[in-house]
Structures are given as structure tokens and as C-alpha cells.
Amino acid sequence: MKRLANKVAIVTGAASGLGKAIALAYAAEGAKVVAADINEAALSLLKKEINDTHGTITTVLANMAMADEIDNMVKTAVNTYGTVDILVNNAGVMDDFSPVADVTDQLWDRVMAINLNGPFKAMRSVLKIMLEKKSGVIVNIASIGGLQGARAGAAYTASKHALIGLTKNTGYMYAKLGIRCNVIAPGAMDTNIASTIDFSKISALVNERIMPGMALNPRSSNPNEVANLALFLASEEASFINGAVIVADGGWTAY
């Protein structure tokens, strides 16, 4: 039997990069995928790709900074498939590497809204479903920026540290109620997240303090390499893994 047979999985940021790789992997293993993203055209391409391989998918437009769109995403899953078994909070944006003194309210609020508030609200919504049936899995996508201080700017770093803390609290609090919550901390990855960075705002201080460490990165991952980990964590093979931070960075943080 396929590892996620008949499971209903919401994947955010599913139209490209890691989210797309996770959606494809889940569908190939039998999940009914609810793919959420802000890019309608890319969602349509993903839907065709999964349909062409006889997978099951429903797409929904959802901006993780908008509470009503998060609610609609979860309602779409329930109305279409009857429940939610798996939530993958993958959608996220980078900052511009700004240290605290240079962070604008606009940048801070945008990064926190998408990287932290959105996952929190999605978790709160699906947990009501999971707690009722005493079963469910949440996989959050953080970053090694959530473990260390110089992989991004202050806003992104704070958002991913907070997401890791939220994951640990959730995994611990609901451990006896059939729910697991884990977080993946990827290193550099070949995705389009760099398109969310305004490189024109990178300062001399950032070039001095952060950029030299980038040269220590052994390599960037293919999204499929991290998607395989997300597949494992969602499956029963990971039944005793809960509240954990799993690093997938090719050894970058081992230095």
C-alpha cells in the first residue's frame, strides 16, 4: 500500500519549488492533495501534472497573510474530501537581510504575516479537525535560519526561530492526542524564494557579517531531496518522531 493512501494533505506554497515537490511526492504516495498558492497559473500546471499521473488534487488560491483565505483553504479540503489528515506549512518569503536597525515595519509585518502568522492560523484551524478524530500530522518548513543567526536578516531569522518554537510546543502539547508536529530546517535550495529578496537593499554591514558564511555552504539541494523528508515525516514510518527539528542542509551547519 502507498504510504499516504487516502490521506488528505494540505500543502501551502505548492505551485513551485519545495511545495510543488512535496505535493507531487504526496500524490504519488496516494494522498488527496489540496494545493494552495497565490499563483493560479502555476497551480493549474501542477494540477495537470498530478492528474496526468492519476493522482488526486484540488487547488485553491490562498495568501498565507490573509486569515479568510486560510479559512477557505481548510474549508475547501473538508468540503472536497471530508477531513484533513496532514498539513504542510511550506509557503514563505525571505527578507532583504536587513539587521534590526534597518528593518522597516512594512518588511517585518510582511515576513511575520506569511512565515509565522499564516502557519499558526492554518495549524489552529486544522487542529480542530485533528483533535476531534485524535489523529493528524503537521509538517512545518522552517530553515537553518531558524537555528542560527546569520543566514538571513532579522525578520526572517526571527520568523523561523518562532516557527520552530511553535512546532515544539504543538508537538509536545498534543503528543498524547494522536497528533504529531515536526519541522524541517533546510539549508540552501534551488527554488525561486530568492525572487522575494530585494538585493538592492543589501548593506555593507550585511556583506561584511553574513555573506562570507555563504561560501561555507557545500551545495544547494534539489527540492526533491527535502520533499522526501517531508514525505517520511507525514507517513507512519515517522510515528515516533514528534516535536523534532530535522536539519537538511548538506552539512552546512556542521561547520
pLDDT digits (tens, 9 = 90+) for 78-115: 999 999 999 999 999 999 999 999 999 999 999 999 99
The single-letter code of the amino acid at 239 is S
Looking at 1-113, list the stretches that DSSP marks H as alpha helix, in order from N- to C-terminal side: 17-28, 40-52, 67-81, 105-112
* Cell (9 digits) for 105: 515595519
pLDDT of residue 202: 81
168 CB-near residues (< 8 Å, 6+ apart):
183, 243, 245
Domain that holds residue 19: 8-249
114 CB-near residues (< 8 Å, 6+ apart):
64, 65, 91, 92, 93
pLDDT of residue 195: 66
Cβ neighbours, 10 Å, residue 246 = 18
Instruction: Tell me whether residue 57 is in a domain.
Output: yes
Instruction: Tell me whether residue 38 is in a domain.
Output: yes
Counting every residue, how long is the chain?
Answer: 255
Q: 197 pLDDT exceeds 90?
A: no
Q: 198 pLDDT exceeds 80?
A: no
Q: 222 pLDDT exceeds 90?
A: yes
pLDDT digits (tens, 9 = 90+) for 7-59: 999 999 999 999 999 999 999 999 999 999 999 999 999 999 999 999 999 99
pLDDT digits (tens, 9 = 90+) for 58-74: 999 999 999 999 999 99
pLDDT of residue 211: 83
Instruction: Tell me whether residue 2 is in a domain.
Output: no
Instruction: Tell me whether residue 223 is in a domain.
Output: yes
Residue 165: CATH number of its domain: 3.40.50.720
Strands laid side by side in the 56-61 sheet: 56-61, 32-37, 8-12, 86-89, 136-141, 179-186, 245-248
Residues with catalytic roles: 156
pLDDT of residue 102: 94
pTM, entire model = 0.95
Instruction: Tell me whether residue 3 is in a domain.
Output: no
Instruction: Tell me whether residue 254 is in a domain.
Output: no
Count: domains in the chain: 1
Instruction: Tell me whether residue 200 is in a domain.
Output: yes
pLDDT of residue 196: 62
Instruction: Tell me whether residue 197 is in a domain.
Output: yes
